[in-house]
Amino acid sequence: MSHRYSKNLRAIDFFCGAGGMSFGLQKAGIKVLAGIDNDFSCKETYLANNRPAKFIHKDISDLSSDHLVNITDVSRDDDNLILVGCSPCQYWSRIQTNKTKSEATAFLLKEFQRFVYELNPGFILIENVPGIFKSRMSYLPSFLTFLASRDYHFDDGIINSNMFGVPQNRYRYVLIGTRLSDGLFLPKGRKNENLVVRNFIGTKNNFPRIKAGYRDNPTRMHTAALLSDKNLERIKRTPHDGGTRESWKDIKDLQIPAYKGKDTIFRNVYGRMFWDQPAPTITTRFNSLSNGRFGHPEENRAISLREGATLQTFPKRYIFKAPNQASIARQIGNAVPPALSKRLGKHIIKFINNGKV
């Protein structure tokens, strides 16, 4: 039966983290009922920015659909319900991490499937790293088979978030689906030459010059990690606007032994961002000079916590609460950029308003 969009469109955000997906969906006009995450350290950040959505501190493996229905007051078979699943992605990431630690999260998509089966929502939205799409070990093929068996029509693939309002080259797997009708496709991205570092950080964007180790107040959060004397010397010798560690590779005291004679590997490590290009993917350790091309384009430091959040398209009023800089960086790097989630939310609304369901 055809119906038009109303304020009844609601979402539950599984693996919500700091709330990037929830925030963007709400900006699109979708009511987010709750975010679910087993990381209690995200609770204060999530609630500070996403009320009246609730924060449900649960491992979804221990959460029943009955309990979720009681908490959120949703109904089964609700055409206006969106279940969102952005499960932790470290296991499938190309970034070299300890896979043993992340192995427990590798198949959370199967747990998400249980809620889709039991609640039968009108819409499904998933965001994850490309690895979940490409790995032979991924549970994704089984999940797609399940969706088809439940008569969900879906479109999925790899997108670059830079084509969806984000000033990063951030590639992600996205799936969007519905059981209400066919014809729901991923939104088409568009190139925007303004989505570059220069237009988001720097003094012209109200980021005053600071030194490495500067600690700002918790609200502004223009805080930069302290650098060792050697790393400070390295960044000073790295040319502005995209310089790399090749500039000091022949200086014995500065060269990193692991890269000696291997200048072609991990070329972005210790590098500076380019002013007029999108930023690299903002990871959970973006505030560390040694973990990627996270050097400020011209100041002698890694980018600040607030600069990273801004490149993730969080507004400056977005409050991050955590016990230390590393925890805040992890919340920011793990988040779905709100600009991307807003685009996805508006795409679902447009689909409904065009009379597709």
Active site residues: 89
Whether the bond between 52 and the residue before it is cis, its omega within 30 degrees of 0, is: yes
> Token pair of 331, please?
């919340």
H helices of 4-93, in order, are 20-28, 43-50, 65-72
H or E element at residue 57: strand 54-57
Q: Taking phi first (over 0 means left), then psi (-120 to 50 degrees means alpha), and beta for anything else, what does residue 109 get?
A: alpha
Q: Which of 192, 219, 224 is nearest to 300 (CA)?
A: 224
The side-by-side arrangement of strands in the sheet containing 31-37 is 54-57, 31-37, 10-14, 81-85, 123-128, 171-178, 153-160
Q: How far apart are CA 293 and CA 273, in angstroms?
A: 6
H or E element at residue 347: helix 338-353
Q: How far apart are CA 18 and CA 30, in angstroms?
A: 18
The alpha carbon of residue 11 and the mean position of all alpha carbons in its chain are separated, in whole angstroms, by 18
> For the purposes of burial, counting CB atoms within 10 Å of the CB of 251, is it exposed (0-12), middle (13-18) or buried (19 or more)?
exposed
Which residues have CB under 8 Å from 263's CB, separation 6+?
Answer: 246, 249
255 close to 249: Cβ distance less than 8 angstroms? yes
Taken as a whole, the chain contains a residue count of: 357
> Token pair of 10, please?
């609601």
Which residues have CB under 8 Å from 175's CB, separation 6+?
Answer: 124, 125, 126, 154, 155, 156
> Token pair of 14, please?
């599984």
Return the ∠ at Cα 104 (arms to 101 and 108), rounded to 5°: 135
